[in-house]
Amino acid sequence: MAGPDEDVVRRFAQAMVDRDVAAIADCLAEDVVIHVPGRNPLSGTHRGRGEVLTRLFQEWEEAFGSLQIRIHDVLSSGDHVVLLSDRTAKRDGVAVEMRAASIYHVQEGRISEAWLMEWDPYALDEFLRGE
């Protein structure tokens, strides 16, 4: 049976697919930190709900266009949740498929930190840079 930490991560993933900014905000702690690996326009450490919503997810929307997330599994232990998923996106006629294992730290019912880890970060970098 899924616990509340798993539920918030599932809601967050669905809010990303739905592009529901209010639901995304509701899942994030005010001082959230999100780490995005790679060498692309989204890479780096993003701090605070405001920056995450205005900068990261606005750019995410522009970068991915039609993002879909298919959840394989959600695993949790203590304050951490791991989301195993396949993601697909299409923009300007170019498609990318990504397998991911994202790690979330959940405190007081909200995501306080996240590490978004792609199986093939080079393919993601190429897609986001338009190569």
pLDDT in tens, 110-126: 999 999 888 887 877 77
Predicted TM-score (pTM) of the model is 0.84
Cβ contact 127:22 at 8 Å: no
Cα dihedral 26→63→94→91 (10° resolution): 70
pLDDT in tens, 3-19: 889 999 999 988 887 88
Radius of gyration of the chain (CA): 14
Closest CA to 33 of 100, 85, 111: 111
Q: How many CB atoms lie within 10 A of CB 114?
A: 23
pLDDT in tens, 43-98: 889 999 998 888 766 666 666 667 788 889 999 988 799 999 998 877 778 778 88
